[in-house]
Amino acid sequence: AQKVTQAQTEISVVEKEDVTLDCVYETRDTTYYLFWYKQPPSGELVFLIRRNSFDEQNEISGRYSWNFQKSTSSFNFTITASQVVDSAVYFCALSESGNAGNMLTFGGGTRLMVKP
């Protein structure tokens, strides 16, 4: 069965600090997709990134970067020079190609608080 674990339930940093959010997943499929979503205080879930299991290249988008390592089943998310607007709950999610449809399994989320 698929499972996503975000061990950090809450992280607090001061603005401009770098912060890494951890995500560890379990799956029996060889083809799967990993996602990160952001849930700001307004409540709506916003897509950040998608990564397929065959692409282990790290990705950088502005202050955001993602490190995917199949060897450790991890898909970590780093925010560089954090800002107050980054305060949100961040969810890592997994979708297996063997599933009928597109069923996302979410981790428990990490609440990030960035203080000025």
Partner 1 sequence: DSGVTQTPKHLITATGQRVTLRCSPRSGDLSVYWYQQSLDQGLQFLIQYYNGEERAKGNILERFSAQQFPDLHSELNLSSLELGDSALYFCASSVGGTTNEKLFFGSGTQLSVL
Q: Within a 10 A sphere around the Cβ of 54, how many other Cβ atoms?
A: 9
Give 71 or 102: the residue with its C-beta nearer to partner 1.
102
Give 41 or 116: the residue with its C-beta nearer to partner 1.
41
Give 18 or 59: the residue with its C-beta nearer to partner 1.
59
Give 33 or 87: the residue with its C-beta nearer to partner 1.
33
Binding site for partner 1 (CB under 8 A): 32-33, 35, 37, 42-47, 50, 52, 91, 95-97, 99-109
Residue partners of 42: CB distance under 8 A and separation at least 6: none
Rounded to 5°, the CA angle 22-52-107 comes to 35
